[in-house]
Structure 1
């Protein structure tokens, strides 16, 4: 994998001559964050060597390079999921590429189902921890010490300093936020009522089909990581009968302006 990553990094550097500080992974319905960038380069995934191609509605499929103020950012418009048929190494390949392009901080967004009764559809949740319930681990197999250690310390998967900064920003902007624990499952089915109850019993506040493998790989390489989630459905009898991917996108789109503002201000002032 090392050679693949370096080949991809070399290609992107030759195309862009751009060294980003921040990497941003944009989840379902949140792809318009790139409107906040002063865009310098856009590389569709299907033009980048070794890159997978997103197959999910609402995921556009491009690496976008640009600036917010004086900060240099690379944003993934569309991510990859295990349920699409990719291995976890393919799912997390772009995180490794962004690391070797130069990023030191990774911001990850997603849409998730809520089980915390304090949440409602449209709630914005800062992820403070996660529970990994995926069937394959992104670090399974022989470890390459050039990327990071065999056994990764996961005591702080999500940066406490970045979370504290966003809480300050949200207070200043009068944006309501929550924090919580995210549980990652394989998907692509939405959870049953029994599965939602399991999520709650296990101690999580929300559940989704992404983020966890990307954050594990980011921490493997020593990146400081921040995660933010939009609650797009609630795991109760009232919400569960109508939930669809279109509804997820609609709820994420409604919350998007606030999420965009929080991410933009974090990048500007952290």
Structure 2
């Protein structure tokens, strides 16, 4: 179905919301916080209480897109978090534009969250580190973004404005909530995470369409433009969340460090005597792969889980 075809996105999101509520107990029907779990970060589902807990497969939810990416379970999980028993919704896995979905479908879950009553969304992702001060396993609290795909017309708000969600020209200069970022830094210290090797930074996320990882020249361009991390998700969800008036907190897990220096030239004397195997090894230094992304996610999962739970608990504490 085309992104602009009938029935409209608001009607479809409303139908999906009605289905979800029919499957949920009363105390889970109006989640206040949504958490989007990126590649390798599905363990965030462990931050909620074991009871009550409802897990719904994306494939069984009307109008919902299906994620096909390794490391994305494809479940909508509802439960309570923290001592205050805050109702939350976790999206374990997401749909990506590079999978062939329209931007309408990529952001559909965010719109469903809005109709469910979500006030705050915490978005996580795995990303490549462009900032050479970052290390694999570091966490970046996002404070801005570069929407490369959006600037050339691949934008989730393209087409007739859906007035039920928000205004025609929403501002994004305040997209990354300053109060929530302040709470994130406080939570990091409260948990004692500032005493360990893993660091938390603030930085700018560059959204690219994918699915290829970036070339060396593209990485240098993005870094020159001011990006600290780069990835293939998150920004469409944030744009739609802000359009709908949802507060946003976003984190990137640095799963690899991008290679910024240019590769060796074919007439470089240092490679002249190398065998084919040696040349391949030389060129592959720093190359990203999805298995490394998932492994870095597993190693950082506990810190990310503790951080998100602490922030949500602090935010809704009496």
Give the equivalent residue in structure 1 for 2:115.
100
Q: Is 1:14 aligned with 2:22?
A: yes
Distance 1:133 1:193 in 2: 17
Give the equivalent residue in structure 2 for 1:82.
97
Q: Deviation at 1:87?
A: 0.4
Unmatched runs of 5 consecutive residues or more in structure 2: 1-8, 194-198, 262-281
Contact 1:233 1:240 in 2 (8 A): no
Structure 2 SS opposite 1:127: strand
Structure 2 SS opposite 1:106: strand
Contact 1:193 1:240 in 2 (8 A): no
Unmatched runs of 5 consecutive residues or more in structure 1: none
Q: Is 1:246 aligned with 2:291?
A: yes
Which moves more between the two structures, 170-179 or 102-111? 170-179
Contact 2:47 2:81 in 1 (8 A): yes
Which moves more between the two structures, 236-245 or 223-232? 236-245
- Give the one of 3, 16, 23 matched to 2:11: 3
Distance 2:177 2:304 in 1: 17
The structure carrying a bigger strand percent of its residues is: 1
Give the equivalent residue in structure 1 for 2:73.
60
- Give the one of 26, 48, 72 matched to 1:37: 48
- Give the one of 245, 256, 262 matched to 2:301: 256
Q: Deviation at 1:241?
A: 4.2
**Deviations 1:192-243, CA, capped at 9 Å, x for gaps:** 1111101101111010000000000000000000000100111126885442
**Deviations 1:126-165, CA, capped at 9 Å, x for gaps:** 0011010115100000012111000001111111000000
Contact 1:111 1:232 in 2 (8 A): yes
Q: 1:164-183 to 2 correspondence within 5 Å?
A: 164-175=182-193, 176-183=199-206
Distance 1:146 1:161 in 2: 26
- Give the one of 150, 165, 172 matched to 1:147: 165
Distance 2:124 2:162 in 1: 27
- How many equivalent residue pairs? 270
Distance 2:256 2:219 in 1: 11
Give the equivalent residue in structure 1 for 2:267.
none
Structure 2 SS opposite 1:165: helix
Q: Deviation at 1:85?
A: 0.2
TM-score normalised by length of structure 1: 0.97
Distance 1:78 1:85 in 2: 16
Structure 2 SS opposite 1:254: helix
Deviating above 4 A after TM superposition, structure 1's stretches of 4 or more consecutive aligned residues are: 237-241
Distance 2:191 2:211 in 1: 35
Contact 1:234 1:240 in 2 (8 A): no
Q: Deviation at 1:255?
A: 1.1
- Give the one of 202, 224, 235 matched to 2:258: 235
Distance 1:158 1:71 in 2: 22
Structure 2 SS opposite 1:41: strand
Distance 2:297 2:44 in 1: 12
